[in-house]
Amino acid sequence: MSELLFNELPRPTFRWLRVNHTPASLWGEAEEAKGVIVKGNDAIIATLPIGTALVNENYKGANSEALCQLIDTAEAYRIEVPAQAKEVIGIRIDGSARIASRFQFIIGEGADVEVQFYLDGESKEATNIQYLNEYVVNADAKVVVKKVNLLGSTLQHIEHRYTKLEERADVEFINVEVGGKENFLHYEHDLQGEACKIVHDIAYLGNKDQKFDISMVMTHRGKKSFSDIHTLGALSDRAKKSFRGTLDFLRGATASEGAEEDTCLLLDPTVKSISLPLLLCKEDNVVGNHAASAGQIDANKLFYLMSRGFSEVEAKHMIVESMIRPIIDRIGDEVIEDAALTAVRNKI
Amino acid sequence: MEQRKKTQLAEMDRGVYDIKNEFEYSYIANAGLTEEIVREIWANKKEPEWMLEFRLKSLDIYNRMGIPNWIPDISGLNMENIHTYVKPKVDMKEDWNEVPEDIKNTFDRLGIPEAEKTSLAGVGAQYDSEVVYHSIQEDLVKQGVIYTDIETALHEHEDIVKQYWMTLIPPTDHKWAALHGAVWSGGSFVYVPAGVQVDIPLQSYFRLNAPGAGQFEHTMIIVEEGAKVHFIEGCSAPKYDISNLHAGAVELFVKDNATLRYSTIENWSKNMYNLNTKRAIVGKGGTIEWVSGSFGSRVSCLYPMSILNGEGAHAEFTGVTFAGEGQFLDTGCKVVHNAPYTTSNVNSKSISKSGGAAIYRGLLKIGPNAEHAKATVSCESLMLDEISQSDTIPAIIVENDNVDLGHEAKIGRISDEAIFYLMTRGISEEEARAMLVRGFVEPISKELPLEYAVEMNNLINLELEGSIG
């Protein structure tokens, strides 16, 4: 496939900066893809016919051409959680071969759902792990999605995620992104219902030539809706991170609040960090904040730890780990947390 | 009950800014943009041959370049209707008494001759496409300071002008830079020799009186090593029913350990398309300070850029944008750190009301060589009603690890509690809102020269008049 434009900025800016999108090609051949295991209550898990329309037909994903191709070929699941039910769903993605998958979650009113995504494995040849998540979170439902990416360094990892939140829906997304060589993450969250709430935290750690290209759009339509984006991570060697975050307050989203924060720790002079935290506002009665920061490890923290007998390298390890660990600790599965921590320690 | 006054834009009286003179000229180029027009402008101004070559090359670039996809809608601007050159009926004078009465009165009403007497070291006044008045204090001339119109500089200091001409803003930069290169006219030239401190500001005022005309003034300021100067720029035009265009270029060269403060209040009428470009390059230990107020125009695209090329160079940007009905003001600033120990502070405020759109668009780039760079950006937006728009579109690019960077932005409205508190103290709702807006922009207005701060407060009062109820 020819070069595609990934994660296009909803409102482009100066062209010469070349940050309005990221050009890339899809890796690997388009052979049949398998390697996904979905665990949970069988009664609520069904297959979804290939080519089923999107929950939001206007959703373009990280790249619309790649998404269309995915919809037409992906092995797809529909997970429909009844109203008031409580469920835990586990999804394991094995990156030893190409993956093209789709997961559509319909969460009934007042339901309480936890979804765990665990991605690991490595293929011999460079290939592509691509999947689409769609969440329809009905009124008063609560959803927590925890994702740990420990994919191998031969893989291109593309995630498209769309979420629709109805009245008082409460959604929490936690990402721990450590693996994959080229990661395109596209998240579009549609806050339609009154008083709905979404928090999306992403921790990443990049080294060598790893790329993390993250796009997140929070569209506030409902009154009193609340969103919070928090990305934090560290880069070393020649790793590169692009964060395109957009808080979009549409007319009618009265008394809504949104915040986004992007924090990046830079560990080598050859890293590159790009941050585009957009605030778009057509409603006066809202509070929107964004913050971005980038820098080295705090010299005072380093000095303190070294004065306690740690070497400089040990002290740096501790500081990076302590930054990412609070997010890893929220995964709640001891085995997965240990695997994530081991991966983090190996990379620092 | 007393009936509240609700001002509509169409009927808004902008006072002295809207007073039109009879449209008189000694020469006017045909509307549109052709090679013939470019040659006519060049011939009319008796410029050197290399400038014709430059103008024609720029025209070629303009014809080949597309309009950027990210700028606001400018479909109301038709170059076929724009007169790119309107020569007023007078040549440049050094005595206000020699300037024709109606033009002198215009600048009198804008307070320029009065300010010259009390608080300025030099004044330039441009009317349509040409500078009609220029002066500079004698003691500055003795110190080697040059402050003149750009045409005179092109003839008397051709080597300097040629050396720097559009090197910071090349015509290939964007379509309006190319247009400027092709049809530029008027503007100021400032040269401050090494070590000279110009303690009192210089001021150029640009007035566009002609309907359907374009103003393409070129400002070039060179501040040599260890020198210091404060330059003030004012712009205004009366309102017409047809579109006007402003595509000026400001090139600032701040050498090692030099300091330049560049203050602007842009108060164009609301039929103006303001597609202006400003850029500064700063040497070792030098400082560029931008103070910018954007009030007028239908559409503005204005992002003053600071290129910090010398070790320890510093940039400061303080800006306010006020967008009212029918206005789309896309403004902001760009800072590029290219050397170690460079620092920058950006403080931007915007206000939108009555359906106006205020956009902050910025760039903060820290290159691979800018070790120990420090940068802070703060953007605050205030929306005064539910039909307006306020967007913040920053880009932050970091290419080395040894930096300290912070960026903050927030959007909100005037707090009901603050209005209630002021009203309990006997202040009307309208005045309470105006007080809070003035307080919001106070960090900017205190950086402006007094008469400009007063002008800005008057503009805010004018914009807010009748906005309650």
Domain regions of chain B by residue span: 14-430
The separation between CA B11 and the C-alpha centre of its own chain, rounded to angstroms, equals 26
Spell out a b/e string for A111-133, using b for 16 or more CB atoms within 10 Å of the CB, else e. bbbbbbbbbbbbbeeebbbbbbb
Output DSSP code: residue A305: H
| Closest among B405, B14, B161, B151 to A293, alpha carbons compared | B405
CA quadruple B14, B17, B21, B25: dihedral positive or negative? negative
pLDDT in tens, A186-245: 999 999 999 999 999 999 999 999 999 999 999 999 999 999 999 999 999 999 999 999
Q: Is A296 within 8 Å of B381 when comparing Cβ atoms?
A: no
- pLDDT tens digit string along B29-46? 999 999 999 999 999 999
Q: Between A17, A284, A290, which is nearest B397 by CB?
A: A17
pLDDT score at A209? 96
For all residues of chain A together, what is the average pLDDT? 94
A323 min Cα distance to partner chain B (Å): 17
Quote the minimal CA–CA distance from B262 to chain A in Å.
Answer: 24
pTM of the model: 0.92
Percent over 90 (pLDDT), chain A: 88
> What are the chain B neighbours of A284 within 8 Å (beta carbons)?
383-386, 388, 413
Cα B174 to chain centroid, rounded: 17
Q: Which of A11, A14, A19 sits opposite B391 (nearest CB)?
A: A11
Task: List beta partners, residue B249.
Answer: B218, B277
Closest by CA position to A135, among listed A190, A63, A58, A184? A190
Report d(CA A259, CA A227) in Å as an integer.
6
The domain segmentation of chain A, as residue ranges, is 4-298
Task: Return the percentage of chain B with pLDDT > 90, whole number.
Answer: 63
Who contacts A18 (Cβ-Cβ below 8 Å, separation ≥6)? Answer: none
* Residue from the list A14, A266, A275 with its beta carbon closest to the beta carbon of B401: A266
pLDDT in tens, A43-73: 999 999 999 999 999 999 999 999 999 999 8
Mutation to test the A interface, candidates B391, B402, B440, most A Cβ within 10 Å = B391
The reply to whether A250 touches chain B by the CB within 8 Å rule is no
Give the distance from residue A15's alpha carbon to the nearest chain B alpha carbon, in angstroms. 8
A345 vs A325: CA distance, rounded Å: 11
From the candidates A220, A265, A284, A293, which should be mutated to test the interface with B, based on the most B CB atoms within 10 A? Answer: A284
Judged by CB atoms closer than 8 Å, whether chains meet at A293 and B407 is answered as: yes
Q: What are phi and psi of B59, to 5 degrees?
A: -60, -40
Inform me whether the C-beta atom of residue A280 falls under 8 Å from chain B C-beta atoms. yes
Measured in Å, how far apart are chain A's first and last C-alpha atoms? 34
User: Residues B39-81: pLDDT tens digits?
Assistant: 999 999 999 999 999 999 999 999 999 999 999 999 999 999 9
Number of Cβ pairs closer than 8 Å across A and B?
139
